[in-house]
Amino acid sequence: MSAVDIISLSYPLYDLPQLLQAKPLSIAIGFFDGVHRGHQNVIRRAVQEAKAAGILSAVMTFDPHPKEVLGHGEQYYRCLTPLEEKTALFKELGVDLVLVMQFDIGFAAVTPQLFVEDVLRKLTARHVAVGFDFTFGHKGSGDTKMLQELCSGDIRVHIVDPLFDGEQKVSSTFIRESLEKGDVQKAKELLGRSYQVSGTVVHGDGRGRTIGYSTANVKAEQPYVMPKIGVYAITAVVDGERYMGVLNHGMKPTFQNGAPAPSLEAHLFHFDRDIYGETLEIEFQHYIRAEQKFGSVDELIAQINRDADKALQLLQDEARQG
């Protein structure tokens, strides 16, 4: 797979790099948090049009989330896919360029007309793909109809229809709601892949080994949307190898005396080596149960044994089914 070029932009666009002056562009535009199946349809449309026309394909995304800048709440600070992970997913979809537009108060004030004139036309866009509910410009005053009108003449616009799961539209909000319920299977259906959280393995309290279950304590380095507190069957990738495992996302109530803070503790099956300081990619596969406080360490160990057996059975059954 060829490398994808990442270009940071800020408004107004001055001194564009040579790469952006070499060929016209077919651009998919959106924040694309999650890069879910609906987003993938928009991006694939841009890639298909680029190939047919012999031009470059690009994704224009924004950093940070527009609603975070405009003060719509902390929920938008937490994301399904940090920028680095989004970029990797764009690459898998065959995109040539990733255009990361800095979203700040100045850019938020740009009118729809100026966005088309000073951004799209300056980038030599020949084709644009957006979702059906795309809005742009100051206070979201531009919609898909206005985009088509403003681009008329030299930029073709494709409005991609929504994708539905039953009667509900596939969306980043739907995925967030599914994760809040612990429904990681539904999130997987909507994303087209397992929901993933990456982090660094850090030292914990060392209690896992004393009860027969060594765990990797994972510190997420990015502000992910986290699934519901509880126990999960997971797969995890370390050094390019995938392992089955069981994970507790929670407060460790059996051992807490002070104010608890959520933690991610993963036990990987058939794995026993020191990975402190390394990156662990956790893929949530099945929700097993809610976290609970036990009356004794023996009760906790018995439950962990049951959780591990159930997680392994679920993962092995899934692997056999392909």
Active site residues: 265
Would you give the distance in Å from CA 126 to the centre of its chain? 28
Q: What is the C-alpha to C-alpha distance for residues 173 and 162, in angstroms, rounded to an integer? A: 14
Would you give the distance in Å from CA 217 to the centre of its chain? 21
Widest Cα–Cα separation across the chain: 73
Q: What is the C-alpha to C-alpha distance for residues 48 and 54, in angstroms, rounded to an integer? A: 10
The amino acid occupying position 69 is V
Q: What is the C-alpha to C-alpha distance for residues 118 and 185, in angstroms, rounded to an integer? A: 43
98: tokens are: 């990733």
Q: Which residue is associated with the tokens 């008329």?
A: 152
Q: What is the C-alpha to C-alpha distance for residues 47 and 27, in angstroms, rounded to an integer? A: 8
